[in-house]
Amino acid sequence: MRRFVWLNGVAGALVLAASALRAHQPVTAVTWVDDIAPIVESRCLPCHGSPARAALRLDSYAAAHDAARRMKREVLERRMPPWPAAQGFADYENDPSLSAVEKELIAAWADGGAPMGAVPGGVSGAQPQGRRPGTMGRPDLLLRSPAAGIVREASRTIRLTTGRSNDGWIGAWEFRPGNPAIVEQAELSIAGGDLIGVWVPPDGLTRFPPGVAQRLPANASLSLKIFYKKSGSPETDDNRLAIYFAGTPRKVLRHRRLQCGTTNLEDGIDVLAIRPEIHRSGQSIEAVARESDGKVRVLVSVPQYQIRFEPAYRFRVPVLLHPETEIALNSPERDCAADLAYVER
């Protein structure tokens, strides 16, 4: 009897040990190499890579494995990747939000033990490549900040001389922060003239639609306003701006400044992007187009506006607004505005 009890005790211990072992073994077919690393590379590394804009690093399997549960929580609660616009109103081509399938993959990977998977060729230390998204090769014009220097201010405006004696047509541009850890946002405009665009992480290349370009007048300079976040130690910054020129466009990219309230459009336009602005975080803002036939379309709705994360919302398909359309820009913060990027019909 005693022997029987002893054997039962050993068998029970073995069952418990096997159960504990299974609990620490991967129980999912979703792996870092095959499924998660590609998502991290395209959606996360611009901020969580090296050099890092965020404290959490995800540029190696080891780092991501340790953060797997946190990754699951952040993506399921829609805090990451950050995107201020409410879902369901419009389709923006620069929306970095994860698809339902991508969220499910990350959740299954975290719940299943965050396995690495087989690395092709047996190479160790599987990690995403961190390619810069959307590059076009050698730019036609590469401009650099006049001097690096220690950053002491919250923002600085740099004037960049193009050295061009003839008119040109900007077809694409790319801001390349010299110190991604402290650069929060950048605004590019023609000095004394129109806005060209806004950069916020994880933006890469901004490319205008085919056949659309913005005029750069002869002898014009560019104005680059850069916003910084505070750092606990002295930091330097050295930025670059890449400009890609296009041929004579079929349509000219134009900008219109909207103020809080209602703006009437006399002519029909195709809206390419909209960038709302208010001066207080936590407030809401929305832009609604009301056409003469009663049709209503929400161009953008931002329930919780955040200063220093103010992207231009670029429509995947241009939004056609007919003549006599009203655009209502609404916010509890009465000092609000929006930049409308469009082409005439």
Among the listed ranges 119-128, 155-164, 218-227, which one has the minimum average pLDDT value? Answer: 119-128
The full set of domains in the chain, from first to last, is 23-118 (no CATH), 141-251 (2.60.120.230), 254-344 (2.60.120.340)
162/26: higher pLDDT:
162
pLDDT by residue (tens digit) across 133-164?
Answer: 456 789 999 998 876 678 888 888 999 999 89
Give dist(CA 79, CA 56) in Å, integer: 14
pLDDT (mean) for 18-29: 52
pLDDT (mean) for 312-316: 96
Q: Which amino acid is at 139?
A: P
* pLDDT > 60? residue 21: no
* pLDDT > 60? residue 121: no
pLDDT by residue (tens digit) across 1-15?
Answer: 433 333 233 333 323
Specify the pTM.
0.81
Q: Which residue has the tokens 């990027």?
A: 341
Give dist(CA 176, CA 241) in Å, integer: 6
pLDDT for position 333:
87
Give dist(CA 189, CA 57) in Å, integer: 33
pLDDT for position 79:
87
Give dist(CA 124, CA 126) in Å, integer: 6
Cβ neighbours for 14, distance < 8 A, ≥ 6 positions apart: none
Among the listed ranges 98-102, 199-203, 340-344, which one has the minimum average pLDDT value? Answer: 199-203
Give dist(CA 33, CA 74) in Å, integer: 21
